[in-house]
Structures are given as structure tokens and as C-alpha cells.
Amino acid sequence: MKKTRFIIFLLPIVLLSLRCDNEKRVQDETIYSDIISNLIDDNYEYEGLNVYLKNKGISIENDSIDIDSLHNDYLRYRKPKTNKRLYISKMLKPIDSDELKILKDERKLSSIYVFEDKEEKLLDLDLVQSKKFDLKSMNNDINFDLDIGAIEFSRVYFNLEKNQGILYFKFLCGNLCGNESYIFINKENNHWKITKKELIASY
């Protein structure tokens, strides 16, 4: 009898704990869903200059080419990419410890955000939604001439009220093409919006 009562007492606690964990997990995916379409520059939805030149049979080694005119023609006549595939790394990592130290000690952002220790976490891609891109898990089949590119998120660091956050974002548009940024977000009307995108590296 006592064992049955204990189980009945314990069951709601277990269910509540599972619900809280699930809500937190869904919240992370909801954040990425809300901001992902606004993170990629529209230019990456078009064929790259190298593809444009190849299709036009143009060689930039030709000394008679007017580079400025060529670039203007490219912007005018380039074609949209035929697909909207965007690859995502499913591993959400903490912000690098050295970078975290800069954010906390030099930039004093610990007065806003709680930079607690975080572990790596797997992203549930099934819960990330985008009306703009066809989201795929990161693999070795990326064709940067055809696909939009590949992205990587860090874990999100919130303020105490959990209505502001900061995260690291990496975008790859080719083997030697990409950028890295800090993304600052606010929660407004139950949706997360980007308030600032701070570039920290470009290549």
C-alpha cells in the first residue's frame, strides 16, 4: 500500500520534470526557427560569380575585361539558385571559453547575460522550421554552387528573465568562404527577433 502511494506521489513529479525538459528543448528549436530566415544574406540565394562566369564562358584572366562592368552585369543577370537547401550542424556547442572570457570580462556582458557552463547538445532538426529554406542535416554532400550553404549555432545564453539572448553563428558559403557572428536576440510577442548581428570574422 505504501509503495503504491509513493508511486502515485512520484508520478506527477516525474511527468512535470519531463514536461519542463521538453519545453526547454522546444524553446531552443523555436529560437532557431524564429531567426534562421533573417540570418542569411539574400545574395547567397543566387548563383556565385564563378558559376556565372563559367555559364557565360568568361575568363577573368582576359586583360581586356572591365571588372567593374563585369560585376555590375553579374548583379543584374545572375540567376537564383535552383534549390533552397541549407545545411545545419546538429551539434550545438558552448561558446569558446576564450571568447566567453572576452564577453564576460572585457565587454562586461555578464551584467546582462548569464554565462553559465553549458554542455554540447544535439539539435532536434525536426523541430526547426523555415518557410524560406529547405533545412538538411550537415553532411559531406554540400554543393556550394547549388546549395545556399551551411550553418552552425552555439548554445543560447539568456538573461535572467530569459527574454534576451546571445549566441554564436557561423555561415559557410564555400570551402574558403564564410563568416562568423554574435547574434543578439529579444523575445517580443512570443517570438524571437534579431536585434543585432555583430560580425567577428569573415573569409
pLDDT by residue (tens digit) across 59-99?
A: 877 767 888 898 899 999 999 998 899 999 999 999 999 99
pLDDT tens string 113-123: 999 889 999 99
β-partners of residue 137 are 88
Which residue stretches of the chain are H helix? 2-35, 49-56, 67-77, 97-101
**5 pLDDT exceeds 70?**
no
Is 0.85 surpassed by the pTM of this model? no
